[in-house]
Structure formats: C-alpha cells, structure tokens
Structure 1
Amino acid sequence: MKRYSVFFSVWIAAALGHSHGFAQSGKPLFTSAFGVQAYTFRSSMPTATAAVLDTIKAFGITELEGEGPKGMPKEEFKKLCDERGIKIPSIGAGYDDIVKDPESVVKMAKTLGASYVMVAWIPHKKEFTLEDAKKAAADFNRVGKILKQSGLTFCYHNHGYEFGKYEDGTLFDYIAKNTDPKYVSFEIDILWSFHGGQDPAQLINKYPSRMKLMHLKDIRKGVANDLTGGTDTRNDVALGTGQINIPEVLKAAKKAGIKHYFIEDESPSYSTQIPVTIAYIKSLTY
C-alpha cells in the first residue's frame, strides 16, 4: 500500500509539473478549491481506500464527494480523510434510500461532516415521463424539508434524461418549477447537461440561485447528444479536450456563486486524464 501511494505521489507531482501546453496569463478564472467525486475511483477505493486517498491528496485535491466504501464504518472513512486534510462537503444517496429512510441519510451526512446530500438518478423505465417528474418533485420537496430541518441541503444531480421536451421547456424545468427552492437545490453535471442537449452555462444562468454543486467533466468530440442518460465511459475526456465550453461554464458558475466543484472522470483512463484536467483548470484566465 505504501509503495503504491509513494509511486502515485511522485507520478502525479511530475505530471502536474508540466504545463500540458496550457499557457497562463492574466487573473485565474478558477479560484475555488476543487474536489473529486469518489465514483472516479470506484474500481480501487473499496480495496485500497487509504492508498486512493493518498493519491487524491497528491493531486492537490482537498474535497471529496462520497460516502466511502460499502462496509467501511463512516467514522473510519472520515478519520482517513481527516488525516489527509480532505473534507467531505457532499455525499450521494440512492433515490429509494432517501425517500424511504431520510433520517438514516441525515445521520450518515452528519457523521461524515457533509453539508449537502445529492441524488443522481430518478428511477424510471426506458423514457423519463411527466409522471416520473411529478413523483420526483413531490418526493424531493418532502425529503428536502427533512434535510433542511437538520441543517443539510438536498440537491438533485441531473443525468440528461430529464431534458425531454415539456410545454415550452423541459421536464427538468418542470422539476425546478415544482420544487421549493428552500428545500431543493441542484448539482449540475455539465457532461450530462450537454449530452441531454443543453448548454450548461445557460442552464446555470437560468437557475443561478438553485445551483449549489458542480461535476466537472467533458465529453469526447463527435459523441451525439441523446436523452438516455448514458454513454460509454470512454467518452469521458479531460477538461478542455472535449465538446463543452468550459471557460463559459466556469464564468457562469462563478457568477452564480457555486462553491463546490467535483472532478468526475468515469473513464478507464482517469489516472492520466485527471492531471490534464487540473492543469487545464489552473491555466484558465480572464
């Protein structure tokens, strides 16, 4: 484990020491601390938790979104993160789990020191329908109120399928309009927003006060948009190398006051892509 950690620390330091062709001038566009979504490390986190956290620390990342490996006590996972100076501002929860037992999710968030709880998927059949959106809006209002009473913020994380047309907008608009802003906020995933046919910057500008968290990711050039909420994981590419206008997204996010940004790279090549993503973020100026 120790050798694994040392190797990654040295490799990452070397990788981040290169400019990757990005020249910096002017004021940095991105000045917030950035984190990483634990799902990025889903293949190694369960069996090499401490080593993965060492790797995250070596990336210079100070925030993690995630509730830790299944089976590991939450107190133990928090201790491992604390020892490395990694905070856990946000955790994820399954839709059914939070709807059926929101109190247990509150307890988990409190144990990990999180302020936000996000749900990343609304159960539905092949096509996401108005009835699915109506049920989700009602559930989110109820659950969001319970979390709010415990000092937590509930966020729905979009996944692309909810951008199907409805009236003069989309089903996402329906959810936004039919949930109480006091209880329901959003985590914008910019890849899934784009893949669902949206301009992520415009979506942030449309709902600036509702956007609290962001997943930083990019999608391979040439990949077509659709409403499936899914694409090959190899279509996740380093920021700045895909289709999304990252500078415009970050400008909109800064204006909206988003404070927590999580790199999520579902690609098998995440270990080589994350340093490129970080270097790109740091290179952006205005």
Structure 2
Amino acid sequence: MYERRTFLKNATALAAAGMLPASNAWGAAGAPTQKKIGIQTYSIRRQLKQDMVGSLKALKHIGFSHVELYGYEQQDKRGAVLGYSLKEYRKMLDDIGLEPTSSHLEPPLKSFYKFGDGGGTGKGARSIQIETYTRENASTVLEFWKRAIADHHELGVPVMVQPAMPLVHTPDDAKLVCDVFNQTGELAREANMRWGYHNHSAEFERIGAKRGEDWSPEMEITHDSYPSEIFYDFLLTNTDPSLVFFEMDVYWAVMGQCDPVAYFRRYPGRFPLLHIKDRDVLGSTGFMNFENIFKAGYASGGLERYYVELEYPNPATSASPSQLESVRKSYEYVANSAFVK
C-alpha cells in the first residue's frame, strides 16, 4: 500500500500493478491450449445500440470466446438484457458462439456517478455509487437479487457481479453492506451460482472520509476520530469468502491510489475475476504494468477469468476510432503478451 502523497509522485511506478487473465473455464481444472479472452460488453455500448447482432458477431470474429454482460433489467414480470428477452438474448449469443459467463447488475436504488476530472475521460477518480443500505431498504435489495438469480438461471449465466458501491458514512453503514453482501451470496449459492463485487476508485477511500466537489481540507476528520480502514479492505475482511468474491478492476484500483499486486498478495484467492483496463487501448499508454499484475495474480492463486474492458475512448465523432477498433487492438495486446496464459 502506498501513502497518497507518495503515490501521486510515483503514479507510473504504482501502475506497474497489473492484471491477470484467467484462461481456465469457471470451475474447470486444467489449462486450455488456447487463451480464452473475455470482454465486458459495456466496452462497445455505442455499437451495440446501433447493431446488436453485428457488434456481437464482430467480438467473436476478433477472437473473444466469452462475454460479461451489461444491461440486465427487471421489466414488470420478466427480465431483459438491453431490451431483449432472456431467451432471445441467450439464443443470439448461442447462434454467434459467445458464451455468457458473467453479468453486471445493481439493485434499484438511487445512483450517484462522479468523475474526478469532471469529464469522465478516465484520467481522474471515478465512483459509481448507490444510496446507503438501511434496515428499511435491505429487504428490497434482497428481493431484487432473488429475482435476478432466477433470471440469470434462465439466461444460463452462473455469475453475477455488483459494480456499484453503497454509500457508507460510518462503520455501521459498512457492516450492513457486508451483511447484505453475505446474504446475497448465500442466495446465489443456494441456486448453485456465484455472486461478487466490482470496484471503481471510491472503494479505496477510508470509511467516513469526506470527498466530492464540496470537499476541502478543513472538512477532513481529525486524526483521533478518523476511521483508519479502507472500505475495500473492510469488505474483504468482513464478507465470507465462500459467499462473496471480488472482481478487481485493476485500473480503478490504481486510480484509487492502491496497488492491485499488494491486494493479490494480502488476500490470496479472493480475486477469481479481473477487469483488464488502461487509460486507452490496453498497453498503449505505459500507465499500467500488466506484466507485474498478471504474474502476481497467477502466483496468488484463484484467478479463473479476466475480461477486457474499455470505458475510454468513448468516441463522440465519426473521426474517432470506433469502440470495436479499440477493442480489437486491446485483444491483440492480450493475445500477444507472453505473460498472459
């Protein structure tokens, strides 16, 4: 772990923290002879809106073997993915030859999006947060997950991941989050499924720390009362490893001023899934040391899958490279990297 001031002086060095790819199928034993590279479909969200089938076929043509879905929603009495019924979407993936191995979704609470640089370019902090869990809304959250589990069973997707952080102001808030996470994980286990959590950068702030547009040094909690624990560490130490896994987004961990490699070593086996991300096309910026990350990830044990994800570039003009072109270049980087199994 780096101190914040030290990190800011050595951002590139810390970025040497990396990511791991998992070449094994979830739960399978033995390594395949060919790399199995996954992608979070959010990476081509613009193209999906324009041409769903054509865009998914393009992912298959590039070489991706499996996908992590985004866009699940609960519509009245039926679930859907990006406007398609569960059966329609699964058939589309089957026809194309893409295996849906995981899905991102979050409970229906008020959302808060923050971009540290004000523009969402990926060069500042980012948080995707939802309103604080309370004893009153916890039942609503759990009912959402009960239905989502049934829907994903129908969809044939065995893994669900929450990518939104409940706001926490006190240690009691954090304890309730862990309690709800454990209950959700138990619901998934009862259905022979898995449930986990995906980070952005806000998780690496300390519980109770004041941040945001209105923050100033004078607002900081005094040293005597300042809660010492990082929220992400609190989650790791207060959730049941048999119920809750973690899908680390290594880029946002670095942007949260923490070292993914240190987490792999400190909490071995807790990170079966990873998001591989850079400020732009993977490996093009020199900001992330993916080799160190992959090596540490493999060494820590437990890595099962990884997903390429590009949040940026998000081209707004026809002159910009398409998201699919950026994804293709990122695939080639992973496929050609000797340190990726």
TM-score range, shorter chain: 0.7 to 0.9
Percent identity among equivalent residues?
27
TM-score (norm 2): 0.65
Partner of 1:52: 55
Partner of 2:245: 185
Asked if 2 retains the 8 angstrom alpha-carbon contact of 1:67 and 1:92, the reply is yes
Asked if 2 retains the 8 angstrom alpha-carbon contact of 1:147 and 1:154, the reply is yes
Q: Mind listing any 5+ residue stretches in structure 1 that lack a counterpart?
A: 1-27, 220-235
Partner of 1:77: 89
- Superposition RMSD in Å: 2.4
1:103 corresponds to 2:163: no
Asked if 2 retains the 8 angstrom alpha-carbon contact of 1:57 and 1:84, the reply is yes
Query: C-alpha offsets along residues 103-159 of structure 1, whole Å, 9 cap, x if unaligned?
Result: 2111222122222100001232xx765444222211101111000111111110011
Q: Distance in 2 between matches of 1:81 and 1:128?
A: 41
Q: Distance in 1 between matches of 2:22 and 2:197?
A: 26
1:258 corresponds to 2:303: yes
Amino acid at match of 1:74: L
Closer/same/farther in 2, CA of residues 210 and 82 from structure 1, 3 Å limit: same
Q: Distance in 2 between matches of 1:216 and 1:99?
A: 29
Number of residues paired by the alignment?
241
Query: C-alpha offsets along residues 40-70 of structure 1, whole Å, 9 cap, x if unaligned?
Result: 1222323421111111111100111015543
Amino acid at match of 1:276: K
Q: Please identify which structure carries the higher helix content.
A: 1
Q: Distance in 2 between matches of 1:44 and 1:147?
A: 32
1:283 corresponds to 2:328: no
Asked if 1 retains the 8 angstrom alpha-carbon contact of 2:44 and 2:324, the reply is no
TM-score (norm 1): 0.77
Q: Distance in 1 between matches of 2:272 and 2:278?
A: 19
Partner of 1:246: 290
Partner of 2:174: 133
Amino acid at match of 1:217: K
1:274 corresponds to 2:327: yes
1:153 corresponds to 2:194: yes
Amino acid at match of 1:121: A
Asked if 1 retains the 8 angstrom alpha-carbon contact of 2:200 and 2:252, the reply is yes
Asked if 2 retains the 8 angstrom alpha-carbon contact of 1:29 and 1:251, the reply is no
Residue 194 of structure 1: how far off its partner (Å)? 0.8
Q: Distance in 2 between matches of 1:37 and 1:71?
A: 18
Give the greater-gyration-radius structure (CA). 2
- Could you tell which deviates more after superposition, 152-161 or 276-285? 276-285
Q: Mind listing any 5+ residue stretches in structure 2 that lack a counterpart?
A: 1-20, 24-33, 72-80, 109-139, 208-226, 315-320
Amino acid at match of 1:155: G
Residue 184 of structure 1: how far off its partner (Å)? 0.6
**Candidates 106, 113, 116, aligned match of 2:159:** 116
Q: Distance in 2 between matches of 1:32 and 1:258?
A: 14
Query: C-alpha offsets along residues 180-217 of structure 1, whole Å, 9 cap, x if unaligned?
Result: 11111100111111110111122222222111211110
Partner of 2:269: 209
